[in-house]
Each structure stands twice: as C-alpha cells, then as structure tokens.
Amino acid sequence: MDQNLPIEAAQRGSRQAQAVLLRELQEPWYRMCLGLLGDPEKARDATQETGLRFLKQLARFRGDSKLMTWSMGIAINVVRESRRSSKKAITDDGQIADGRPAPGDSPEQSASGREQRDLLRTILAELPERQREAVTLRFFEELSVEETAKAMNCAEGTIKATIHQALKSLKTRLTTRRPA
C-alpha cells in the first residue's frame, strides 16, 4: 500500500497528498476504533482525533514500518485515552454499547448466526484491553505479529503471549456460553 501513497509530499505539507492518505486510512482507523470502543459516535470522534494527530506527527514518520502500522499505533493511543476518559463502552449488563448497524442484521440473516456473532462480540468486549487490541489488529486488521507489536509498542513475544491468552479465553467462554 505504502509504495503508491504520496507520503513525502504529504510530509512536505501538500494538502492534496494528505487528503489521499486520510482517505486511505480512515476506514481502518474507524473499524478499529469501533471494534475497540463499541460506540459509533465515540469511534467517529476517535477517528477524527487520530486523523489530527496523524497529520501533526506525519513529519516524524521515518518509514521504519508501514504507514498503516505506524498510524494504527496513533489510533490505539487515542482509543486508550478515550476509554480512560469514559468507561462507558460496555453497559452495566455486560453488553457492548454498540448501536452500529451490522450488515448481518438483514432479515435473511439467520437468528442463530446473529446470536453467535453477538456472543463473540460480547466475549471479545469482556477481554482485557491489551488482548482485545492484539486480537483486533492481528485477526481483524490482519497485521503480522511484528506489525501488531509495532502498533502496540511492545515486543513480538509479548504479542504472541497476549494472543495465545486471548484465544484460550475466547475458546473457553464460547464453549461455556454457547446458546442452546
């Protein structure tokens, strides 16, 4: 992706190039913010904040990693700050405060499929923050272990261990709470 992006022009201040980068990255940022915050409004605010910080810090990007990976690190920090400022992502009854229209919510979608998806989403939301971040980046954004480690600013070994713990926890919870 990075090869085709006008990164240097954007770093020099070209608004046109910056617009290209923002359009390329807005979806991954929003998806991740929504996946981790669970609220479309907060996810939108977090995406905008990520965009602002991205433009401010872009001159410091040295190309040690992919632009996407680097920008995901910014988004992760924004999400963490957002979660710290308000711990309302999960409602009192343990359900995700998620009002987004899931594409599977169409009438033809089977009820069991919806239930399963909702169950996984609920279980994911119950995971510790770090595990959710790692699972989101590794499995949903399909970043490599190395890229996930860079985005989360930690060692690859830590990511492997975190993901192992997360998968183990998900498996256990899915087995015990699968709807009859």
Q: Which two tokens stand for residue 79?
A: 């999400």
* Residue 99 near other proteins by CB under 8 A: no
Q: Which distant-in-sequence residues (6+ apart) come within 8 Å of 66 by Cβ?
A: 1, 2, 147
DSSP reduced 3-state for 90: strand
Q: Which two tokens stand for residue 3?
A: 């090869």
* Residue 38 near other proteins by CB under 8 A: no
Give the number of other Cβ atoms within 10 Å of residue 175's Cβ: 8
Phi-psi map region of 39: left, alpha, beta (phi>0 left; psi -120 to 50 alpha): beta
* Residue 151 near other proteins by CB under 8 A: no
Q: Which of 2, 8, 19, 63 binds other proteins (CB under 8 A)?
A: 19
Q: Which of 140, 155, 164, 177 binds other proteins (CB under 8 A)?
A: 140
Q: How far is the CB of 124 from other proteins (least distance, A)?
A: 7
C-alpha 28/C-alpha 31 separation (Å) is: 5
Q: How far is the CB of 84 from other proteins (least distance, A)?
A: 21
Interacting residues with other proteins (CB under 8 A): 12-15, 18-19, 22-23, 26-27, 29-31, 34-35, 40, 44, 47-48, 51-52, 55-56, 58-59, 100, 102-104, 113, 116-117, 120-121, 124, 135-136, 139-140, 142, 167, 170-171, 174
